Amino acid sequence: MTEIERLIRLLARMPGLGPRSARRATLHLIKKRETLLEPLARALTDAAQNIRTCRVCGNVDTNDPCGICTDPKRDSTLLCVVEDVADLWALNRADIYTGLFHVLGGTLSALDGIGPEDLNISQLIERAQADAVTEVILAMNMTVDGQTTAHYISERLASADLRITQLAHGVPVGGELDYLDDGTLSAALRARHE
């Protein structure tokens, strides 16, 4: 197998790319060898060597503990629990939350055989009880599995002297009622306020 074929095969394994788009990307990289291919290769090597999972929160970063966990400006009394690193990035990108995070690494799922021991739940319980945390925000997805996991964590933390909150759900900004599904409308109506 030539280097080009190897590159195409590896790129085709990326999400959103198939063999055809991988060929296009490979050709593009070859044409932009100095401005794209070589910097990309260096960036990939650096990432492979330096990126690690934070042993405190489960985030990915070049430092362990990660930049969020070691940031002194962060409010260490707030702990936001998310399913995945992508959720952490989404909340952090919004720049409206200044507390700490905890990444579970998935949700409980009997179907897929994922139990509490397969997620970072015991670390979360230890962390929530040991650190200066006063509030745990459960920012799980509004799915059956996500909310089952949130309820499970709430129960595990029930005996701790903590405020446990969940994200609100309802009409999104820019959302038109006509296009909303029944579940969202129902949740929005139930959570109506003056």
Partner 1 sequence: MDQGLVLSVRRHGESSAVVTLLTAHHGRHAGLVRGGQSRRLRGVLQPGNQVTATWRARLEEHLGSFVLELDRSLAAPLLPFADRLAALGSLCALVDTGLPERENHPALFENTAAMITALDSEDDSWRPYYVQWELDFLRELGFGLDLSRCVATGGIDDLVYVSPKSGGAVSAAAGVPYRDRLLPLPGFLIGHGTPSDADILEGLALTGHFIDKHVYAAYDRSLPAPRDRLVQILRR
Q: Is there binding between residue 187 and partner 1 (CB under 8 A)?
A: yes
In DSSP terms, which residues pair with 101 in a beta bridge? 80
In DSSP terms, which residues pair with 109 in a beta bridge? 114
Question: Cβ distance 121 to 102 under 8 Å?
Answer: no
Which of 53, 102, 111 lies closest to 79, judged by CA? 102
Q: Is there binding between residue 182 and partner 1 (CB under 8 A)?
A: yes
> Which of 60, 154, 170, 171 is the binder for partner 1 (CB under 8 A)?
154
17 vs 14, 20, 40, 102, CA distance in Å?
Answer: 6, 8, 17, 30
């939350």: which residue's tokens? 97
Q: Is there binding between residue 123 and partner 1 (CB under 8 A)?
A: no
Q: Is there binding between residue 175 and partner 1 (CB under 8 A)?
A: no
What single letter denotes the amino acid at residue 188? A
DSSP-derived letter for residue 95 is T
> Which of 148, 156, 162, 170 is the binder for partner 1 (CB under 8 A)?
148
C-beta of 17 vs 162, nearer to partner 1: 17
Q: Is there binding between residue 21 and partner 1 (CB under 8 A)?
A: no
Distance CA 132, CA 161 (A): 11
**Segment (H or E) for 187:** helix 182-190
Site for partner 1 in 87-116 (CB under 8 A): 110-112, 115
Give the nearest distance from C-beta 193 to partner 1 in angstroms.
16
C-beta of 37 vs 164, nearer to partner 1: 164
Give the nearest distance from C-beta 176 to partner 1 in angstroms.
15
The site for partner 1 (CB under 8 A) is made up of 15-16, 110-112, 115, 142-144, 147-148, 151, 154-155, 181-184, 186-187, 190
